[in-house]
Structure 1
Amino acid sequence: MRIPEGLTIPIELDRTTRRPLQDQLAEQLAGAVDRGLLAGGCRLPSTRTLAERLHVSRGVALAAYEILYARGYLEGRRGSGSYVAARRSAPPDQCRPPAPAGEHVDCTPGQATGEGFPLAAWRAAWRHASFQPPPVRELPRGGLPELRRAVAGHLRRTRGLGCDEHQVLITSGLAHGLRLVLDALGGPGRVAVQDPAPPVLRQVVADSGRRAVALPVDRDGGWTGAVPPACTTAVVSPDGGPPFGAVVSALRRQQLADWARREEDHLVVEVVGVHVAPAAAPLPRLSNLAGVRTAVVGDFRTVFAPSLRVGYVLLHRDLLKALPPGAFGDEQPSHVAQSALAHLLTEGSVLRRLHQLERLFSRKDALVRAALAPLGPAVRLAPPGAAGTVVVHLPDRLDAECVHAELHRRGVLVPTLASFHLPGRPAGNALVLGHGHLPEQVLRGVLDELVDVLHVEHPAVERAIGL
């Protein structure tokens, strides 16, 4: 039965059971709130209207509402009625309409989460930006001065990078910034790319007309070999990035810095993730070690949302002089977007969000590890590393590609470790589970499917041995 006025969810009351009707009604309304079908602030029908529509006594409706009030699902407004409590509303990802048939839960790392989104600060920033008259001329080369200044301050606080606003250039995102750096400053031919690494890095290299070659990184973060011959540019994430999140040691950083200084055309591009660099025992920054021959690229898409297409490039002053005219003048973010982000950075909203994300990721990491622990030592989890990501190493009898295919059949997309390696590179038998962007309820469902698929007797994923 549907209630057309104020409530458009199905309510089914079983009058053949001994369970009280008010308990059934309260449970179904609470479930609708938990699933995001009733959002925070949604007004519910009066008890009289609800009773009439469901053909129950008003006392049943009143008792159900009292249960929901006691459990914190509802709040009253004087003279206005009953509303879903704002604090009980589901995260934005849960408030979407039901996914169409065939849509998958995407567990690829590096996605933004709407959980705990700082909506008040977001609104204030865009309101602040919209109150300023738009410029009548083209945006300054390199971006708005106030944003460049704010980004420089942010990098000093969170990354320990010694820089000023004149070294910061604003881009439309990490991929855009990396492409611009390669085109403006990188040499032709081959580019050494950290391996394994997010596929977007090698894709940008390929799109620039260059060939990506592997700069192997082990689980401890050390580069296992020198930069491949004939490479004049190296793209790395020394402070941890998917899949392993391993932090490169001070010795390895120094070796790469020495390589960068060896020749005038050598360049190290450091890709910055979303996490805050630890304050305790900080490691030396590549940009400080290598000096002139470094560039730092990053963006804010996973801090807030992909729609905030604003990133940055940090260059040494001498490299700025080597930029071709207009190298960073095109494809800039809009004036309003730059102004809003400057406000978010200046007011401390970005830093607060980063710390919030670290807490969220840590909690979900613990949830993943607890859920997979009953599988025993055969399924090994890599130590905590990249934010919001867990690498799941499988026993030899379970083939990662088969597990990936079975999960995909069940509506869950979990990439294999092989997808983070350059083609032809040896890869471990593992999955890379990105969990930080998933609402907890969705993550629990993913883990239920994963545990079921990884069960030692599951026939669909056992590796064929001796055939």
Structure 2
Amino acid sequence: MVDRESGTPLAVQVASGLRAAAVGGVLRGGDRLPSSRELAARLGVSRTVVIAAYDQLHAEGWLDGRHGSGTYLTAAPAPGGAPGEGAERVDPLAGLLDLAAGAPSIETLDAGAWRRAWRGASDRMPLVRKDRRGEPEYLEAVAEHLLRHRGLGAGSGSAVLATAGTSAAAGELAAALLRPGEVVALEDPGYQRAAGAFRAAGARVVAVPVDAEGLRVDLLPEDARLVYCTPAHQFPLGARMPAARRVALVEFARRVGALVIEDDYDGELRYDTAPLPLLATLAPDVVVHLGTTSKILTPTLGVGWLVADPAVAAAVLAYRELTGTAPAPAGQQVVAELARHGDLARHLRRLRREMPPRRALVVDELRGRGLEVRGDDAGSHVFVPLASAEQEDRAVAAARAEGVHLDALARHHVGPRHTFGLALGYAALPRAELPRAVRLAGDALARVVEWTA
């Protein structure tokens, strides 16, 4: 918002508002800002005003322009020095109760099992060379995990590779399979780190809307070479893609010669009914399955997996040979140790017992205040829809004033901001802190909705 009655120039007001949004957590490092034309239209000012504000923020180190892909917020410059001068970065979440989506439940991880796994991994002699496919023990553990917990026979007609995580795998697939400028279709709102990985690999990311059943297959572009989706529990709106739409997606991929990248976000965390079969079991010829330990264990390990047709896996391996890259073995060895002792399976059982009461607490607190809650009864987050961008921004600021960090949909859009609300995660906080955080967030949200109704 700008105040035309103020003596402060409009460009200065716009720049100040963007700085405040960054400091307040409404915007984060790596978020794509609207074009100068789009922001000018939103604010009702001339494009010259927005360009001047962007230029000032560029000069201060807040923004980074990337040719062909827009303007992005960098990490906030630390006080007393220009970016890169050695000043410490300040954690924007320090002291806040974090209710953002996409973080794991560390409290559920058994400390004894964790230490035993690291000890077991450290007993192995250091490697002379890394296996670019992944450590054999890790690949065996992944294959068993997928068969037992996701119904995917990874060793039958498909190749399994270790990865450095989901977004890293997305970037590898784009770099290995696409020519610069070819199209990747991505859910909108959706996973921005995947979008960033695709863009970094030279792909053109096209936003495709989602609804209550996930990705809108009927709106996919005909020239898409890759289609990225989260069918088990759509991130961040929480929908589960039903069987009919999964079939339609596979039919689309076969018709246009595209590959579907199935990010199995929250796939292991279904506790109401049996999960639908993976897309990769339905159509292994056109589906690449991605998983990660970051959400079910911890991002400390930095490892995931990729299951694909052997020709696709061979292309990724060729790219790794060309670039000299490969996922780090240490995290793989720890996961293999967890699996060897049965601790990985036990951890997943604990997670499935822990998440339902947490979700029930969140839903009861929010609905008790008259707030709407959406999302499939699974996973580690819910979606709270809001009426406007103003409500969303005010809700984040109001919760932050109460000491709670909320995850606004603003940062999850691939294209222009069109859906408003919050992705509220309930896994990361310790069990003892969650009720207070949800209560504070619910009160703040209810006040904002009442004020702006």
TM-score (norm 1): 0.70
Give 3-state SS (helix, strand or coil) of 2:119's partner.
Answer: helix
Shift of 1:337: 2.7
Distance 1:292 1:373, change over 3 A: closer
Question: Pairwise mapping of residues 268-307 of structure 1 onto structure 2 (< 5 A)?
Answer: 268-276=260-268, 283-307=276-300
Which residue, out of 237, 241, 246, partners 1:248? Answer: 241
Instruction: Name the residue aligned to 2:372.
Output: 380
TM-score (norm 2): 0.72
The C-alpha deviation readout for 1:284-342, integer Å capped at 9, x for no partner, is 43223333222112210122222111111111123234446252684434433322211
Instruction: Name the residue aligned to 2:10.
Output: none
The residue type equivalent to 2:348 in the other structure is L
Instruction: Name the residue aligned to 1:54.
Output: none
Instruction: Name the residue aligned to 2:320.
Output: 327
Question: Pairwise mapping of residues 93-242 of structure 1 onto structure 2 (< 5 A)?
Answer: 103-135=95-127, 137-164=128-155, 167-189=159-181, 190-221=183-214, 223=216, 225-242=218-235
Give 3-state SS (helix, strand or coil) of 1:462's partner.
Answer: helix
The residue type equivalent to 1:317 in the other structure is P
Name the CA distance, whole Å, in 2 between partners of 1:397 and 1:228: 27
Instruction: Name the residue aligned to 2:425.
Output: 434
Shift of 1:185: 1.8
Query: Do residues 359 (structure 1) and 348 (structure 2) align?
Result: no
Instruction: Name the residue aligned to 1:449.
Output: 440
Q: Would the aligned equivalents of 2:269 and 2:351 in 1 still touch at CA under 8 Å?
A: no
Name the CA distance, whole Å, in 2 between partners of 1:151 and 1:102: 35
Name the CA distance, whole Å, in 2 between partners of 1:454 and 1:109: 17
Distance 1:175 1:101, change over 3 A: closer
The residue type equivalent to 2:170 in the other structure is L
Shift of 1:246: 1.6
Distance 1:211 1:410, change over 3 A: farther
Shift of 1:386: 5.1
Give 3-state SS (helix, strand or coil) of 1:303's partner.
Answer: coil
Distance 1:340 1:202, change over 3 A: same
Query: Do residues 462 (structure 1) and 428 (structure 2) align?
Result: no
Distance 1:373 1:425, change over 3 A: closer
Distance 1:338 1:321, change over 3 A: closer
Q: Would the aligned equivalents of 1:292 and 1:317 in 2 still touch at CA under 8 Å?
A: no
Shift of 1:396: 7.1
Shift of 1:236: 0.7
Consecutive unaligned residues of structure 2, counting only runs of 5 or more, are: 1-90
The residue type equivalent to 1:354 in the other structure is L
Instruction: Name the residue aligned to 2:60.
Output: none
Name the CA distance, whole Å, in 2 between partners of 1:315 and 1:108: 31
Consecutive unaligned residues of structure 1, counting only runs of 5 or more, are: 1-98
Bigger RCO of structures 1 and 2 (CA < 8 A, at least 6 apart): 2
Shift of 1:267: 1.2
The residue type equivalent to 1:290 in the other structure is A
The residue type equivalent to 2:161 in the other structure is L
Q: Would the aligned equivalents of 1:243 and 1:391 in 2 still touch at CA under 8 Å?
A: yes
Q: Would the aligned equivalents of 1:274 and 1:300 in 2 still touch at CA under 8 Å?
A: no
Instruction: Name the residue aligned to 1:46.
Output: none
Name the CA distance, whole Å, in 1 between partners of 2:159 and 2:293: 18
Q: Would the aligned equivalents of 2:208 and 2:215 in 1 still touch at CA under 8 Å?
A: no
Give 3-state SS (helix, strand or coil) of 1:433's partner.
Answer: strand
Distance 1:398 1:373, change over 3 A: farther
Name the CA distance, whole Å, in 1 between partners of 2:441 and 2:281: 43
Distance 1:118 1:241, change over 3 A: farther
Distance 1:129 1:372, change over 3 A: same
The C-alpha deviation readout for 1:145-181, integer Å capped at 9, x for no partner, is 1211111121112111122197111122221111111
The C-alpha deviation readout for 1:211-263, integer Å capped at 9, x for no partner, is 32222221233626231232211001111133232211111111111122224
Larger Rg: 1
Distance 1:434 1:184, change over 3 A: same
The residue type equivalent to 2:114 in the other structure is W
Shift of 1:191: 1.0
Distance 1:102 1:347, change over 3 A: closer
Name the CA distance, whole Å, in 2 between partners of 1:387 and 1:282: 11
Name the CA distance, whole Å, in 2 between partners of 1:152 and 1:120: 25
Name the CA distance, whole Å, in 1 between partners of 2:275 and 2:432: 36
Q: Would the aligned equivalents of 1:156 and 1:163 in 2 still touch at CA under 8 Å?
A: yes
Shift of 1:399: 1.4
Name the CA distance, whole Å, in 1 between partners of 2:346 and 2:253: 35
Q: Would the aligned equivalents of 1:216 and 1:224 in 2 still touch at CA under 8 Å?
A: no
Give 3-state SS (helix, strand or coil) of 1:381's partner.
Answer: coil
Q: Which moved more, 1:189-198 or 1:219-228?
A: 219-228
Name the CA distance, whole Å, in 1 between partners of 2:278 and 2:446: 44
The residue type equivalent to 1:111 in the other structure is A
Distance 1:229 1:407, change over 3 A: same
Distance 1:117 1:283, change over 3 A: closer
Instruction: Name the residue aligned to 2:332.
Output: 338
Shift of 1:268: 0.9
Which residue, out of 250, 253, 257, partners 1:257? Answer: 250
